[in-house]
Structure 1
Amino acid sequence: MNSIHQSSAIYNWLQFEVESLIADPGQRPKISSYHPNDRDKVRCAYLQKGPCQPRNHDFPQTACGSSFRRFNPNWFDDYGNWLEYSISKDAVFCLCCYLMKPETEGGDAFVTNGFSNWKKRERLQTHVGIHDSAHNQAWRKCEALMKPKQHISVAIEKQSEQAKKNYQIHLTATIDCIRFLLRQGLAFRGNDETDDSVNQGNFLELLNFLAQHNEEIGSAFKNARGNLKLRAPSIQKDIVRAAASETTKVIVNDLGDELFAVLVDEARDISIKEHMSVCLRYVNKEGQVREHFLGLVHVSNTNALSLKLALESLLETYNLSLSRVRGQGYDGASNMQGEFNGLKTLILKENSYAFYVHCFAHQLQLALVTVAKKQVEIALLFNLLTNLCNVVGASCKRRDMLRDSQMTKTIEALQSGEIASGRGLNQEIALKRAGDTRWGSHYGTILRLISLFPSVVNVLEYCKTQLING
């Protein structure tokens, strides 16, 4: 019992007052009468208190045949770690069997009514029994309960806690990398993200850099579970969406109840889906002019009414209203600044204070395009590019032919070793039409033509053959 007393300090968290527990074993309620969540606490409290052993009690005489006998307090010295005496019943009980022996194993005098045949002292040793007896099994359970650091469940829990800690470290590092890339406006994915790639892209390279220069992060990555997907693109997107949501909340809270202006433009993603981008411009409570991106809205139709409905829907998402708009800035497209049915006009009909200003960035783009057209050689080049886009993209059949030709040439190049394969490499692309209001799109058009030039030539030869054969 000494080992139990030495370990009792670790159970200071018990909510049960030791002195409030019933000491007399003949009057205690069954362990099963306590709530399941409290039973181990009760057991620990009784073990901490120790068996009930009233050594100074005047033990009564009991008739045993032709003689009288009584309990001998010296027996406490021989079986002191479990033997306890009930004054109310003048009987002895077993503390560890009371605490740990399952009720389904049947009755036991040392647990139920107590043992009081003082003539048969050998019954005490019989109760202890052999190594694997019910009493010894109960005693080992008591020792395990009072030594949690050596218990297998604690080892599993400790391992689980370490796994949780490693996961938290891994997740924190992932979020930190994503926040850095978002803050710097850098791309996440690489052209080749395989393990043997010399450049896996900004996200994976940054994670690996952290692991190499931080032992705690490196250890967490090394011991990560095989099914952990924190590096997966889907998880990256989830975290980015969460960051975007929190960022937007900060912007809306900074705006508060102030008036604002909207800056709207149309944009296409890589899948040629039309989107409307919306920015807010306002003066915050500190008198500082702020201009922040609010969000992208997919629009299937780019007429003025569809754009207005999409804009209203986005503003309503953040409890904003067109009535608070005091300025609107767009490009010079007719659906945006049209005098009769443009987006500008539709908003002005509802809010006459939403003054319109032509976007200066678009004015600069238009100026660059106009100047370039004055140079004959440059103008001829981009006219030729426009004609190529019109001819190749004039029908679905020609676009499919361009796609199939490019796929065949890519397979041949892969087989000959001219190009390498890998995640993100050799993606399907198409000719990109230059936009009059986006000077940067002209550069993208040239790059696409260079990549697809052999396939474009095949399509043009097919068109030539069709014209000849009439």
Structure 2
Amino acid sequence: MKGDIKGLKTLIMQESPSAYYVHCFAHQLQLVLVAVAKENTDCVWFLEQVSLLLNIVGVSCKRHGMLRSAKLESIMKALECGELKTGSGLNQEMGLARPGETRWGSHYRTVCNIISMYPIIRDVLITLGEDTTHKADWIKIHFMVGAFESFDFVFSLHLMFVILGYTNELSECLQRREQDIIHAIQLVGVTKNRMQHLRSEGWNQFLQNVTLFCNKLGVEVPTMEGNYVPFGRSRRFVQNQTNDDHFRREVYIGVIDKISQELDSRFDDVNMELISYMSALNPSNSFASFDAQKVRRLAEFYPKDIFWL
């Protein structure tokens, strides 16, 4: 569509040079997340581990059943101890469905389920790794257990949980058939502000949450002053740095900065302003949103096409 020679955008611009190209907002948001995931090596590594995990657990109905049974047993124990309450809509069954490549909201659900079921998934992986009937998969399973229990995995898991959580509301809003464009534009601004606040104020709270999770589930937490040692990757391709440099500066701040840059680039001020002014011509509810000032400002975008009387 955006091809420089025969793309639809080019053909329209040749007929009407003052036309503006506004990409689908829902697709724009997906491109933001995809761009970040592809350019950060830790994100790439994490998504590969999630894919391997889903392959191991979802390879057969028997393994699905193991995960389901372990989840049920965990819920029953928690109910007996009074750690969970019963009621309509509570304690719903969870699974590890494979996320869709074009639906980043499904990635968020997968991340949420992994966090909620972390000890159950680990127990199932360990059981599979000790079962002699699964020797053919032992290498993959044993590596997955090591990766799953690494601080690298848990850190990236929680970072994806926070970032995808912040963008999930915006993603759902942009995909609604009856879309309130003004509300969507406001959510874009809210998402940008959240990212900036997360960068400037969120590190200590985020690290504390990750540390509490690790301590509760027996995952070793490295000292931030120590040298960073990547899990399952050669140190040859990782620069000599401290854990604080890697996890805080390179991963945490690096991912947030990249998302902020992509949001600013793909949701630029001109497109946002243009769409906002276009909403003044929405015919719903007898043009209830009509605003003469917005229409006047909209006309200024097309000085060669609209003539004032």
Give me the TM-score of the superposition, normalised by structure 1: 0.23
Greater share of residues in strand: 1
Give the greater-gyration-radius structure (CA).
1
Q: RCO (CA 8 Å, sep 6+): is it higher in 1 or 2?
A: 2
Give me the TM-score of the superposition, normalised by structure 2: 0.34
Greater share of residues in helix: 2
